[in-house]
């Protein structure tokens, strides 16, 4: 009788240990799978943000380069009114830039969801800088002074570099 009870206890204890081990293994596998999905989603989100921002930066560079070409022909270093043909040459590029601005706002919202406040702040800074130079040109046809254009170009370059650094930190931080 003792042998039967002893065997039953051993079988029951073995089954309990096996069930507990299975539970822990399944739970661990589920958590690992969930972590992998979260990491993959974060990577995909950062890549989407980077893609939208690079498109925006390329459109900005096209606009800046066209504007720099126009400003090279200036006869004064001060602010001046742009003639209509020069405005028209900027309008084509400005359409692409405006479209890129709309899509970069999606990127900014994604950064907000990820609580990437520094990257979001740098992106907002880039948008603000661009608006300060673009709006007077496209709305009032006023070209900036040479010093204002040079200052803007440097500030924008710094903002782009800081944004890339913040995005790289986000990417590296995914574990």
In this prediction the pTM is: 0.82
Mean pLDDT, rounded, for 6-23: 77
Residue 75: the pLDDT is: 78
Sketch out the chain's domains with CATH numbers: 40-173 (1.20.120)
- The mean of the pLDDT values for the chain is 90
C-alpha distances in Å from residue 87, one per residue of 11, 57, 100, 103, 129:
87, 21, 19, 24, 20
Residue ranges of alpha helices (H) inside the chain are: 2-72, 84-113, 117-140, 146-172
SS3 state of residue 1:
coil
pLDDT (tens digit per residue) in 93-150: 999 999 999 999 999 999 999 999 999 999 999 999 999 999 999 999 999 999 999 9
Residue 3: the pLDDT is: 74
Is the separation of the CB atoms in 147 and 133 below 8 Å? no
Of 60, 42, 173, 174, the closest CA to residue 123 belongs to 60
pLDDT (tens digit per residue) in 135-173: 999 999 999 999 999 999 999 999 999 999 999 999 999
Share of the chain above pLDDT 90, in %: 67
């Amino acid at each position: 009788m003792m042998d039967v009870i002893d065997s039953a206890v051993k079988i029951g204890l073995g089954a309990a240990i096996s069930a507990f081990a299975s539970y822990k293994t399944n739970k661990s596998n589920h958590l690992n799978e969930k972590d992998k999905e979260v990491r993959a989603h974060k990577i995909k989100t950062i890549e989407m943000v980077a893609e939208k921002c690079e498109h925006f930066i390329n459109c900005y560079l096209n606009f800046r380069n066209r504007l720099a070409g126009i400003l090279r022909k200036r006869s004064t270093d001060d602010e001046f009114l742009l003639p209509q043909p020069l405005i028209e040459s900027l309008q084509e590029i400005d359409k692409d830039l405006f479209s890129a601005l709309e899509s970069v706002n999606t990127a900014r919202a994604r950064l907000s969801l990820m609580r990437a406040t520094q990257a979001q702040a740098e992106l907002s800074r880039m948008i603000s800088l661009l608006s300060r130079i673009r709006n007077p040109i496209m709305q009032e046809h006023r070209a900036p002074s040479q010093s204002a254009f040079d200052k803007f170009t440097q500030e924008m370059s710094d903002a782009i570099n800081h944004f890339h650094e913040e995005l790289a930190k986000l990417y590296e931080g995914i574990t």
